[in-house]
Every structure is written in structure tokens, then in C-alpha cells.
């Protein structure tokens, strides 16, 4: 990879696409303005102008190199300023990458170079990156041909099969294929994606609603405080009435006042105690609401990171669907062609067929729901032409239920 990166850079220099007479940033490679680079370290402290964090293996184009060796680059996530220490330790040229490093990314044309031993996984992943075409360049030795070497790659699997895989083979169950996410991985990604959406929706709702609830509770607390003061005043007045008139010379003339005072002293202390209990509960609720509001605000501050996580999940799911659609097209997966017919050869209809096939197979792998049932739920069934009107909502946000 390092040799290919340097060769690609030299080709661009010879073509006059890179200016080596100006400033350059130094690290593992010498980087010039216009170079394609890859960041190799996740850093949440470094943010683009869109608020996106710097991610490992993200690709950028260098726009400016500063005097101190830092640089400004542009990528799909926006414009980023990379400090000199990050450039020195975590920036590489991005013209070439290992096959495994390319997993989850799609390009128009994929070029793969093999100069040593490889197995089916090292072939399948790189050669499924190109959406239009893929080419393999294979180093041969002796009398071997490229076809001989390539065939050996396809029939080699360096990972020992665990017991559950061997049991699946013996029982005739379908085996997991390289390049595809298994059912547990798919469910975990769907669940994580749904949980992030629910977390953000809950935080949005609480951030909007809790302040009004706090105001209502504070108003209720104030009313309780005022009521408690009034109750205490009435209890004190009743006690004063008894102290003043509950005597032989006054008792008869002030019988009504004494009756009212005794009734108040019987009932009002209990009411005052209940009022104080309600006041304490209101205080506790206000504290809990304020903490919940703070948690919601803190969650919303993390929205860029959570949104980036959703984007990463979507990339993995999209890459998995892409592989599944290619398998369905080239192998004519019976369950899929039975409900959707044979794939159109090219054009928009072919793209829609591929997308729908990927969605169906991915949902089937994740949930175990039969393909024909999924097709009915999504409105796809031969001979209806709905596949030609397939729209993005077929790319579901989570598992089909």
C-alpha cells in the first residue's frame, strides 16, 4: 500500500497536478496541496465546519498547507483543519488502501493488486467495491497464469471453520458468506440505529416540554407555600381564641368562636402536614425535572456524534445490501427472482431491482422472515410493475415487524 501510494503521488507530480516547490507537510509521507490523504485516527476534538468529527480512514483533499505544517483539507464531512501533530502521526496518502480497509466503501471503478498469498475474503471484499467495474492485477511466478492464481485465491479460506459452521454444513443449513453481515450483526446495527433515533427523539421532546412542566410545578409549590402560611396563621388564631375566651367569665359569651377554634385545631394541623408533604414532593419533582432537562440538553449536544454514528451504521448496512444485491443478480437467488422476476439487464429498472433485492435479502437475513412475505409487505410481487416505481422508503430505518 505504501509503495502504491508513493507511485500514485509521483505520477501526479509528473503530470503537473501537484506542486512540489511550495510548502509541504511532513509525516509518514510528504504531502502537497492537492494530494488525496486519509486520516488514520478517530479524534472527537477535531471537527469540520459541519460539526463532524475526524474519523479513521476518512478521505480528504489537501487545500492549504500552513507554515507550521498543519493543513486544511476538504472531504465528504466538510472542511477540516488538521494540526501539525495529527498530520505528523495520523495522516497518510489516500490513493491506495488494503482490501480490508476498503470494506464498506464504494467507488466507480475498483482496482485490486495482488502480489502475494490471499484467500477468498481478500478477493471478495476488494473486488466488490466498484459499482461499475472491478479489475484485479495479479503477480504471477513461474509457469502460473493469473487465472491459476486467482482460482487458488477463490478456493482458499484461511479461517478455520468453527463447530457451528461445520454443523450447519452437515445439516444443510445456509452458511454465512464472506463480505456479508450475519444475522446478529444486522440486528445489532438496526437496534443501535433505532436506539439512537429514539434517544434523540426523547431528548427533543423532553427539552421542549420539561421547562413548562417545571414552571407548572414551581407555581404549584408557591401555592402550597402560601396555603401553608395561611393554615399556620389560622391555627395560631384558633389557639389565641381558646387562650383568650376559654375561661369561666368568657366561655358562654364566646361559645361560637370557641367551637370554630376547636374545630380548626382538630383539622388544620393535619391539613398543614399534608400541605408540607406535598411541598416536599413538589421540591423533589422540580429537582428531578431539572436533572432530566439537563440530561436531555446534554444528549442534544451529542447530536453530531450520534448522527455520525447513524451515518456509519448506514454505510455498513448499505455496503451489505450492495453485496447482497450483486449476489442476487449474478446467482439469480430463487426466492428473490420468484417474487420479483429476473433482474433487468441495465438502466434505472436494474438499479431499482438491485436495491429491492438487497433490502429483501438483508431483512430476511436479519429477521428470518420469508422472502415472499417480505415482498408482500413491501408491495413487491410479480407480475406487478411496482418494482419500476420503487422509492427510497424501501430502505427501512429498522427491522421489519
Q: Please list, residue by residue across 200-219, b when 16 or more beta carbons sit within 10 angstroms of its beta carbon and e when fewer do.
A: beebeebbeebeeebeebee
Instruction: At 381, list the grid cell.
Output: 410481487
Question: First-to-last CA distance in the chain?
Answer: 44
Those residues whose C-beta lies under 8 Å from the C-beta of residue 323, and which sit 6 or more positions away, are 128, 179, 180, 358
Report pLDDT for 180.
82
Is-contact 95 34, C-beta < 8 A? no
Residues 342 and 302 sit within 8 Å (Cβ to Cβ) = no
In whole angstroms, give the CA distance from residue 396 to residue 369. 15
- Separation of alpha carbons 362 and 381, rounded Å: 17
Cβ–Cβ < 8 Å for 94, 128 = no
Q: DSSP characters for 289-354?
A: HHHHHHHHHHHHHTHHHHHHHHHHHHHHHHHHHHHHHHHHHHHT-HHHHHHH-SPPSSHHHHHHHH
3-state helix, strand, coil in the chain (%, to 5): 60, 15, 30
Q: Give me the residue spans of the domains in the chain.
A: 2-93, 100-171, 186-301, 306-394
Calpha distance 276→228 (Å, rounded) = 7
* pLDDT at 97 (0 to 100): 83
Q: Which residues contact 128 (CB under 8 A, 6 or more apart)?
A: 110, 134, 179, 322, 323, 326
pLDDT in tens, 361-391: 999 999 888 988 888 887 765 544 444 444 3
Distance CA(121)–CA(105), nearest Å, equals 16
- Kindly list the averaged pLDDT for each block of 10 residues, start to end, along the chain of length 401: 90 91 89 93 92 92 93 93 94 85 74 80 78 87 82 65 54 59 91 95 95 96 96 95 88 88 94 95 96 95 93 91 85 83 83 88 90 82 44 42 34
Residue pair 374/400 in contact (Cβ under 8 Å)? The answer is: yes
Q: Which pLDDT belongs to residue 286?
A: 96
pLDDT at position 204 is 96
Cβ–Cβ under 8 Å, residues 73 and 60: yes
Taking a C-beta distance cutoff of 8 angstroms, is the pair 178, 126 a contact?
no
pLDDT at residue 390, rounded to an integer: 41
**In the prediction, which pLDDT does 194 show?**
95
CA–CA dist 104, 193 (Å, integer) = 17
Peptide bond preceding 383 in cis form (omega within 30 of 0):
yes
Which residues are CB-contacts of 138 (< 8 A; sequence separation ≥ 6)? 114, 146, 149, 150
So what's the pLDDT on residue 397? 42
Amino acid at each position: 500500500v505504501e509503495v502504491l501510494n508513493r507511485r500514485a503521488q509521483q505520477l501526479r507530480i509528473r503530470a503537473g497536478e501537484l506542486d512540489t516547490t511550495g510548502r509541504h507537510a511532513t509525516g509518514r509521507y510528504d504531502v502537497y496541496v492537492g494530494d488525496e490523504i486519509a486520516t488514520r485516527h478517530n479524534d472527537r476534538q477535531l471537527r469540520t465546519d459541519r460539526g463532524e468529527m475526524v474519523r479513521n480512514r476518512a478521505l480528504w483533499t489537501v487545500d492549504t498547507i500552513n507554515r507550521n505544517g498543519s493543513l486544511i483539507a476538504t472531504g465528504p464531512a466538510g472542511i477540516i483543519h488538521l494540526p501539525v501533530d495529527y498530520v505528523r502521526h495520523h495522516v497518510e496518502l489516500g490513493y491506495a488502501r488494503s482490501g480490508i480497509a476498503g470494506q464498506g466503501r464504494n467507488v466507480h471503478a475498483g482496482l485490486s493488486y495482488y502480489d502475494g498469498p490471499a484467500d477468498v475474503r481478500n478477493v471478495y471484499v476488494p473486488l466488490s467495491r466498484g459499482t461499475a467495474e472491478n479489475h484485479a492485477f495479479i503477480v504471477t511466478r513461474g509457469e502460473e497464469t493469473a487465472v491459476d492464481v486467482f482460482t487458488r485465491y477463490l478456493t482458499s479460506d484461511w479461517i478455520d471453520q468453527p463447530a457451528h459452521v461445520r454443523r450447519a454444513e452437515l445439516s444443510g443449513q445456509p452458511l454465512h458468506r464472506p463480505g456479508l453481515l450475519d444475522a446478529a450483526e444486522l440486528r445489532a446495527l438496526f437496534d443501535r440505529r433505532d436506539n439512537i433515533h429514539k434517544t434523540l427523539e426523547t431528548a427533543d421532546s423532553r427539552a421542549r416540554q420539561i421547562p413548562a412542566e417545571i414552571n407548572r410545578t414551581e407555581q404549584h409549590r408557591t401555592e402550597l407555600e402560601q396555603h401553608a402560611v395561611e393554615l399556620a396563621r389560622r391555627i395560631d388564631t384558633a389557639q389565641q381564641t381558646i387562650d383568650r375566651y376559654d375561661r369561666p367569665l368568657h366561655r358562654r359569651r364566646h361559645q361560637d368562636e370557641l367551637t370554630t377554634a376547636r374545630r380548626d385545631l382538630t383539622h388544620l394541623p393535619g391539613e398543614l402536614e399534608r400541605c408540607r408533604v406535598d411541598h416536599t414532593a413538589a421540591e423533589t419533582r422540580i429537582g428531578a425535572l431539572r436533572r432530566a432537562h439537563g440530561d436531555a440538553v446534554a444528549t442534544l449536544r451529542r447530536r453530531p456524534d450520534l448522527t455520525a454514528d447513524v451515518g456509519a451504521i448506514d454505510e455498513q448496512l448499505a455496503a451489505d445490501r450492495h453485496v447482497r444485491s450483486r449476489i442476487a443478480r449474478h446467482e439469480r437467488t430463487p426466492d428473490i427472482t420468484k417474487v420479483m422476476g429476473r433482474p433487468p439487464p441495465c438502466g434505472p429498472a436494474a438499479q431499482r431491482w438491485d436495491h429491492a433485492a438487497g433490502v429483501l435479502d438483508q431483512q430476511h437475513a436479519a429477521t428470518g422472515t420469508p422472502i415472499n412475505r417480505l415482498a408482500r409487505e413491501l408491495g413487491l410481487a410479480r407480475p406487478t410493475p411496482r418494482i419500476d416505481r420503487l422509492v427510497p422508503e424501501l430502505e427501512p430505518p429498522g427491522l421489519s415487524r
